[in-house]
């Protein structure tokens, strides 16, 4: 069975804790990315993770990115064009529940990093949120897409509408798959509604 342990991040009142978790997620993802890596941004949102991944897969790498909102994809494309990295990506307006439809068959089992930043689009329509059902489908796909040693990063927001249900589903999914992953979990121990970051390295395959 994989080793699991809990790490706790504690911030001062007024800290932008979600940003702290985002930075932590990127730090851990960085060590799994080299020139030529293939990565997934399963919830493109404001595009910052997409740009981060494009930077670290290099010229010969590829980043797949999906978001259900066209404005998110267009915003990410503008950031990538400004950084001259759009050619390193393949982006689509679709639910993360269907992200496997975007992935080329030769890349199945070759993904080095898959990042999820759940909830709603920052500064967007807060009524449009990721759901437990769609995220469960996406995790099932990513499990098969990740290579051995690949990283699955999930940032969830139990304080958002529907976020508690989604976070509970993720916890259960991880419990059901913990034999296949080494799991780190981060949360502010002083705030039960703080974001939760899971960082999971795949240590064995389904076979």
CA distance 77 to 59: 17
Across the chain, which has 207 residues, the per-10-residue mean pLDDT values are 46 51 92 97 94 98 96 95 97 96 97 91 64 95 97 92 90 95 89 89 81
Q: Say if 71 falls within a structural domain.
A: yes
Could you tell me how many residues make up the chain?
Answer: 207
In terms of DSSP H, where are the helices of the chain? 17-30, 48-57, 70-82, 132-145, 163-177
Determine contact, residues 66/92, Cβ cutoff 8 Å.
Answer: yes
Residue 194: predicted pLDDT: 86
Supply 181's token pair: 């992953």
In a domain, 158, yes or no: yes
Residue 154, domain CATH: 3.40.50.150
Q: Please tell me the predicted confidence (pLDDT) of residue 11.
A: 47
**What pLDDT does residue 191 have?**
81
As for how many domains the chain has, the answer is 1
What does 11-57 look like in DSSP terms, one character per residue? --TT--HHHHHHHHHHHHHHTT--TT-EEEESS-TTSHHHHHHHHHH
Structural domain harbouring 179: 36-202
């Amino acid at each position: 069975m994989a080793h699991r342990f809990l790490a706790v991040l504690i911030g001062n009142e007024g800290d932008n804790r979600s940003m702290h978790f985002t930075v932590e997620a990127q730090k851990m993802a960085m060590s799994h990315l080299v020139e030529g890596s293939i990565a997934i941004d399963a919830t493109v949102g404001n595009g910052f993770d997409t740009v981060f991944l494009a930077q670290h897969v290099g010229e010969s790498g590829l980043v797949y990115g999906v978001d259900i909102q066209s404005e998110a994809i267009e915003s990410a494309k503008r950031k990538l064009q400004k950084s001259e990295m759009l050619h390193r990506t393949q982006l689509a307006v679709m639910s993360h529940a269907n992200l496997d439809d975007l992935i080329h068959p030769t890349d199945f089992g070759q993904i080095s990093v898959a990042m999820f930043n759940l909830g709603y689009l920052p500064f967007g329509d807060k009524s449009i949120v990721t759901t437990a059902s769609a995220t469960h489908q996406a995790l099932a796909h990513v499990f098969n897409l990740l290579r051995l040693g690949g990283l699955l990063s999930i940032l969830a927001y139990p304080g958002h509408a529907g976020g508690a249900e989604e976070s509970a589903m993720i916890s259960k999914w991880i419990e059901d798959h913990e034999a296949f992953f080494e799991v780190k979990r981060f949360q502010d121990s002083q705030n039960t509604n703080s974001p939760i970051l899971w960082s999971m390295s795949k240590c064995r395959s389904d076979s």
